[in-house]
């Protein structure tokens, strides 16, 4: 239940101790945004360098893409585990431990002697990233009053967008001048600085008894890994083994669902998805990140192999979407705070669909500006959609589930990024032979084939965006009306309580008066 503070015009969300808990809210938001920004940076920093890395180690696209997948799948597979751990052990402690691990594994990635060790160290880096991203939104929610939550989450979305924007730019520039190994070293100064900042502003909560769901965690990770591995086998044309791993994936995920339904302290509370709004918008958020990250994965190959741009220019072109997201997300969050989330979420889905459809007009003779404009329009759609969606998801569930909700949202986001790599790689390989993708530049029919593969990717993304638009209308209540209705009920209850108090005091005064006159 929300509580109205008699002096301050704030609605205090459940789980906040007092209004003084908001004193350092902007410092906390800045500290969390700085660290959280490194997670999407490292999800996108290798995209521009992936063609270079594949040529450097002499491997194909299906192998090189595991540099992305290994990071994303461990990030995805352990987010729910660490969000649960944060509820018991302390979200601040989990975040700080993740920062330390992130800096360490970044150094190891830069020193990788082979593609295999790079994939392993990227997986460990994703594990550390999971510790950070799993609890960050819950910490933001705990630090801000309800009227400012949308704006805070909008700024948090800016940090995510800034990471996606800086990733390609940093990766392209540093890779072009210093080589791909140097792209991971940017995490060291930023991570150390953020650790010092967070250590000073985050107040450590008390320990609680940790209740583990190790079987659920293992089954979840195994199931997701088998799904991704199956898609990778299909991409390589190994359909027999893909059928076997696909069946194992289904069995494993069914085992996970069974474990979560019977477990007393599950890593994933499946009953949360009985909430129609929460379920619909988690699914739409998943689709949105598939659309976005398919572009970050596929477009660099088109820009470098078809349009023959260098890695630095490619990185600058890829900043178009995140720049628009950084600009519009806070505004979109404030609009959701004031008028509700239905309209901006719907418009964002439609704009994203139109942007992706516009990219079907790209040819082998298109310019970098053509791609930049389409990506900018896609960024506008994502900005309109993501802030209202995040606000709704974080405010839809009771406060005791804030950590779990944060973990589910992060899992939804990262699952979309993992599947985006798989889907985009699979669609591209239906149009062009895998061995041709190892060439530095493509011309003639090979360039046309890769462009056709890109068209398949954007058409798939447009279809998902239209589904997002439908989900935004089917699953989302008008949050502004909900808040007004809730406040009306709260006022009515307050009046009833006051009447009872006044009645009790009157009775006491009457009894005392009778006793005095006697």
User: pLDDT-derived band of residue 379, with 50, 70 and 90 as boundaries?
Assistant: confident
Residue 207 pLDDT class (50, 70, 90 cuts): low
Rounded to whole angstroms, the Cα distance separating 227 from 455 reads 25
CA 368 to chain centre: 28
**pLDDT higher at 348 or 513:** 348
Q: How confident is the model at residue 313 (pLDDT cuts 50, 70, 90)?
A: confident
Give me the half-sphere count of Cα atoms (radius 13 Å) on the Cβ side of residue 349: 24
- 190 phi and psi angles, rounded to 5 deg: -65, -45
Contacts of residue 301, defined as CB under 8 A and 6 or more positions apart, other chains included, come to: 50, 51, 61, 428, 437, 450
Q: 82 vs 18, which has greater pLDDT?
A: 82
Long-range contacts of 512-516 (CB under 8 A, 24+ apart): none
The span from the CA of 181 to the CA of 365, in Å, is 32
How buried is 303 (Cβ within 10 angstroms: 0-12 exposed, 13-18 middle, 19+ buried)? buried
pLDDT band for position 7 (50/70/90)?
very low
Reading phi first (left if > 0) and then psi (alpha if -120 to 50, else beta), residue 237 is in left
Q: Which pair of structure tokens corresponds to residue 79?
A: 């987010």
Q: What angle do CA 197, 198, 204 make, to 5 degrees?
A: 140
pLDDT at 455: 92
Decide: helix, strand or coil at residue 380: helix
Name which residue leads in pLDDT, 67 or 500. 67
β-bridge partners, 12: 3
Q: What is the pLDDT of residue 483?
A: 42
Highest mean pLDDT among 102-106, 167-171, 441-445: 102-106
pLDDT at 2: 38
At residue 107, the pLDDT reads 92
Q: Which of 134, 135, 396, 414 is nearest to 274 (CA)?
A: 396
Q: What's the CA gap between 280 and 244, in Å, rounded?
A: 31
Tokens of 447: 């360039």
| More confident position, 403 or 76 | 76
Average pLDDT, the chain: 76
* Region 81-108 average pLDDT: 84
Residue 331: count other Cβ atoms within 10 Å of its Cβ. Answer: 15
Does this model's pTM top 0.85? no
Query: Percent of the chain having pLDDT more than 70?
Result: 78
Reported as a pLDDT band with limits 50, 70 and 90, residue 487 is very low
Cα angle value 57/60/167 (rounded, 5°)? 75
Helices (H), 16-114: 25-44, 50-57, 61-64, 66-89, 91-110
According to the 3-state scheme, what is the secondary structure of 251-310?
A: HHHHHHHHHHHHCCCCCCCHHHHHCHHHHHHHHHHHHHHHHHHHHHHHHHHHHHHHCCCC
Instruction: Please check whether residue 257 is in contact with residue 453, taking contact to mean a CB–CB distance below 8 angstroms.
Output: no
Beta-bridge partners for 4 = 11
> So what's the pLDDT on residue 117?
92
Task: Classify each residue of 39-68 as buried b or exposed e, where b means 16 or more C-beta atoms within 10 Å of its C-beta.
Answer: bbbbbbbbbbbbbbbbeeeebebbbbbbbb
Task: Report the range of poorest mean pLDDT among 36-40, 280-284, 394-398, 410-414.
Answer: 394-398
**Mean pLDDT of the 431-435 span:** 78
Q: Which structure tokens are listed for 185? A: 């070293």
- The residue that leads in pLDDT, 509 or 54, is 54
Nearest Cα neighbor of 427 from 395, 459, 404 is 459
| Residue from 90, 58, 473 nearest 284 by CA | 473
Alpha carbon distance 382, 287 (integer Å): 11
The mean per-residue pLDDT over the stretch 316-335 comes to 78
Is it the case that residue 504 has pLDDT exceeding 50?
A: no
Over residues 16-32, the mean pLDDT reads: 62
Task: State pLDDT tens for residues 448-476.
Answer: 888 898 999 999 999 999 998 888 776 44
Mean pLDDT of 347-375: 91
Locus of tokens 């398949």: 456
pLDDT value of residue 1: 38
18 pLDDT band (50/70/90 cuts)? very low
Give the single-character DSSP code of 430.
Answer: T
**Chain length of the chain:** 518
Half-sphere exposure (Cβ direction) of 517: Cα atoms closer than 13 Å: 5
115-138 pLDDT tens trace: 899 999 999 999 999 888 878 877
- What letter does residue 28 receive in the DSSP assignment? H
Q: How far apart are CA 158 and CA 18, in angstroms?
A: 28
d(CA 128, CA 416): 19
Please give the average per-residue pLDDT across 174-185, as a whole number: 82
pLDDT of res. 128: 92
Pick the residue with more confidence: 164 or 486?
Answer: 164
Among the listed residues 459, 452, 458, the one whose alpha carbon sits nearest the alpha carbon of residue 433: 452
> Alpha helices, DSSP H only, in 430-478?
444-475
Structure tokens at 4: 């109205």
Residue of higher predicted confidence among 426 and 204:
426
Q: Are 285 and 389 in contact (CB under 8 A)?
A: yes
Looking at per-residue confidence, does 450 or 409 come out higher?
Answer: 450
């Amino acid at each position: 239940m929300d509580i109205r503070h008699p002096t301050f015009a704030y609605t205090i969300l459940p789980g906040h101790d007092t209004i003084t808990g908001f004193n350092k809210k902007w410092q906390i938001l800045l500290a969390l945004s700085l660290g959280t920004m490194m997670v999407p940076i490292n999800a996108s920093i290798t995209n521009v360098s992936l063609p270079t890395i594949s040529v450097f180690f002499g491997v194909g696209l299906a192998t090189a893409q595991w540099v992305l997948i290994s990071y994303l799948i461990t990030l995805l597979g352990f987010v729910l585990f660490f969000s649960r751990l944060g509820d018991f052990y302390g979200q601040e402690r989990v975040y700080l431990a993740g920062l330390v691990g992130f800096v360490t594994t970044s150094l190891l990635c830069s020193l990788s002697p082979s593609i295999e060790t790079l994939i392993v160290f990227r997986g460990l880096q994703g594990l550390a990233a999971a510790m950070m991203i799993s609890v960050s939104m819950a910490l933001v929610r705990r630090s801000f009053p309800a009227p400012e939550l949308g704006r805070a989450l909008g700024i948090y979305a800016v940090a995510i967008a800034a990471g996606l924007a800086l990733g390609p730019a940093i990766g392209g520039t540093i890779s072009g001048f210093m080589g791909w190994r140097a792209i991971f070293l940017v995490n060291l100064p930023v991570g150390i600085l953020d650790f010092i900042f967070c250590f000073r502003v985050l107040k450590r909560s008390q320990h609680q008894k940790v209740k583990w769901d190790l079987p659920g965690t293992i089954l979840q990770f195994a199931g997701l890994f088998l799904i991704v591995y199956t898609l990778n086998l299909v991409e390589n044309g190994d359909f027999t083994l893909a059928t076997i791993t696909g069946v194992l994936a289904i069995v494993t995920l069914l085992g996970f669902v069974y474990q979560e339904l019977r477990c007393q302290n599950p890593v994933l509370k499946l009953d949360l998805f009985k909430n129609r709004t929460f379920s619909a918008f988690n699914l739409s958020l998943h689709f949105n990140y598939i659309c976005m990250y398919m572009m970050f994965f596929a477009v660099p190959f088109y820009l470098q192999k078809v349009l023959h741009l260098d890695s630095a220019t490619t990185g600058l072109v890829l900043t178009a979407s995140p720049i628009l997201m950084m600009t519009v997300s806070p505004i979109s969050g404030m609009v959701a705070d004031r008028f509700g989330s239905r309209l901006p979420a719907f418009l964002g889905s439609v704009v994203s669909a139109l942007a992706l459809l516009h990219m079907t007009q790209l040819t082998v003779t298109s310019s970098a500006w053509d791609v930049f404009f389409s990506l900018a329009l896609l960024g506008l759609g994502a900005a309109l959609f993501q802030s209202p969606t995040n606000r709704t998801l974080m405010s839809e569930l009771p406060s005791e589930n804030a950590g779990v909700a944060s973990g589910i949202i992060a899992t939804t986001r990262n699952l979309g990024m993992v599947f985006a790599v798989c889907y985009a790689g699979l669609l591209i390989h239906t149009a062009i032979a895998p061995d041709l993708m190892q060439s530095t530049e493509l011309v003639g029919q090979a360039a046309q084939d890769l462009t056709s593969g890109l068209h398949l990717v954007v058409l798939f993304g447009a279809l998902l965006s239209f589904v997002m638009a439908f989900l935004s209308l089917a699953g989302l209540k008008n949050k502004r009306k909900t808040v007004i209705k809730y406040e009306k009920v709260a006022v009515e209850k307050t009046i009833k309580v006051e009447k009872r108090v006044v009645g009790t005091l009157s009775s006491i005064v009457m009894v005392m008066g009778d006793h005095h006159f006697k």
